Chain A
Amino acid sequence: MKINKDKLADFIAAISEQTVYAPQKRGEALVFAPVAKGSNVNLAAANTTIPPKSVVFPQTETLLRFELGKTDLEAPVQEGKAVMLGVRPCDARAMVIVDNVFSWDVDDPYYLQKRADLTLVGLACLEPCVNCFCSSVGGGPASKEGLDVLMTDLGDGYLLEVLTEKGQTLCQSAEGLLEESVKEDKDAAEKLHAAAVNKITRQAPDTGPIPAGLPRLWEDPLWAEVSESCLGCGICTYLCPTCHCFDIQDESEGCDSRRCRTWDSCMFPEYTLHASGHNPRPTRRERTRNRINHKYSYFVDKFNVIACVGCGRCINLCPVNIDILNILSKVGEAL
């Protein structure tokens, strides 16, 4: 199937009994936000500043509501079908990876409910950015993993590949607007996908030996080296589509209180600070080491997949040019 670009607005309207998330400007940043009247959706731009995880795993989320001095609680699990339009394959893969975390021991109702309600309409990356390296960590500019529909920009319109039931039902709800695609469209898309892969400039070193090897480098000088210029800010982790750490806080206004979870970052000192004042990760060296180990070793041990999809955000936005690929190649050399 395919849809003409000028029909896109109607398509969104047609499916709008569900909340439709699409890339839009908030302040100076590009984020996935619910499409409202007059909001201008921007599918053309490169990947969003803030990854779409913010939709299923909001930066701030209420877990419980209660009143000071009272004992009754309320646990608001948000329901409601939603569609995410124009999500990039890397970010979609990231969601699949993060799903593991929220369901491996206990099911996290808040996250899983939103995931179940969500239909992912992907958009193939035809113009990868400088620091994209999805292809070398198991993904690709047109990877279908985690998507319900994959769109490919054919210039005048988008080719829609329906990949799942969810995708099917979604497209049906906008049937009138979609036209049958022809073989040429598919071939064109294939070509574009192939071309995109070749446009990717950066590669991660062979990740094969890394998961097993990292523990051996625990005391290697490279960690001090790569972390020395780290500012200890939250950019790399907050903007990482697979980072999923959170902090739980109670907040109250007068007696109305809530327990909420907010994104947390292993790059913050408070993250591992004990009540005693002791901090098992006292410096940025340990924190950086943990960040890499978590993505490329611990996670692999546990879920047998690297917790990095090569979206390149952490490289693009690190204020001091700490480059995960650079770290990986140092790791590679050291092994």
Chain B
Amino acid sequence: MSENLEPNVVAFLCNWCSYAGADLAGTSRIEYPPNLNVIRVMCSGRVNPLFVVNALQQGADGVLISGCHPGDCHYMEGNFYARRRFSVMKELLEYVGVDARRFNMSWVSASEGAKWKEVVSGVVDKAKEAGPFTEFRRNKIDW
């Protein structure tokens, strides 16, 4: 596992802005690294902060949450709740010694295919710098 230097990033995207933005990047054939896999939710407000803990525990080297720009949430407020929850979760993670580069949050709108590429590349690079996050992985040692 750990010798795999290609980072693995799990991303949670809201259906209306960020997922659409990622689709747009696809439609516009904008190339970016394949190390990031997307889970589609209806709203960034749906993303339970414990998902992040779980993703890291499952073996993700980095996590990204992306939603609509403030004020653009399809559900009006979802991304505001997400912003609060994750501003706290981020602090908690860093406090227990999880490398800050492993947790990321972004606003990507349906029209920002190019920005999506920037975000992905950035997040993947950071995860790469931080290195494989083996310490927290559900270890099979006692298996």
Contacts and interface: CB of A to CB of B under 8 A. Distances in A.
A and B touch in the complex (CB under 8 A): yes
Interface of A: 58, 60-62, 65, 253, 256, 258
Contacts of B138: 253
A258 B138 CA distance: 13
A256 B142 CA distance: 13
Interface in B92-143: 138, 140, 142-143
A253 B140 contact: yes
In the A-B complex, the 5 residue pairs with the closest CB atoms: A258-B143, A62-B143, A253-B138, A60-B142, A65-B143
B58 interface: yes
Nearest to A60: B142
A208 B5 CA distance: 66
- Residue among B58, B138, B142 with max Cβ neighbours from chain A (10 Å): B142
A253 B142 contact: no
- Residue among B58, B138, B140 with max Cβ neighbours from chain A (10 Å): B140
Interface of B: 58, 138, 140, 142-143
Contacts of A61: 142
A61 B138 CA distance: 15
B80 to A, nearest CB: 35
B99 to A, nearest CB: 22
A154 B69 CA distance: 74
Given A58-B142, A60-B142, 10 more contacts: A61-B142, A62-B142, A62-B143, A65-B143, A253-B58, A253-B138, A253-B140, A256-B140, A256-B143, A258-B143
A173 B92 CA distance: 51
Nearest to A59: B142
A288 to B, nearest CB: 32
Contacts of A256: 140, 143
Nearest to B138: A253
A3 to B, nearest CB: 34
Contacts of A65: 143
B9 to A, nearest CB: 17
12 contacts: A58-B142, A60-B142, A61-B142, A62-B142, A62-B143, A65-B143, A253-B58, A253-B138, A253-B140, A256-B140, A256-B143, A258-B143
Contacts of B143: 62, 65, 256, 258
Nearest to A253: B138
B143 to A, nearest CB: 5
A65 B58 CA distance: 19
Contacts of A253: 58, 138, 140
A65 B140 CA distance: 11
Nearest to B137: A253
B60 to A, nearest CB: 13
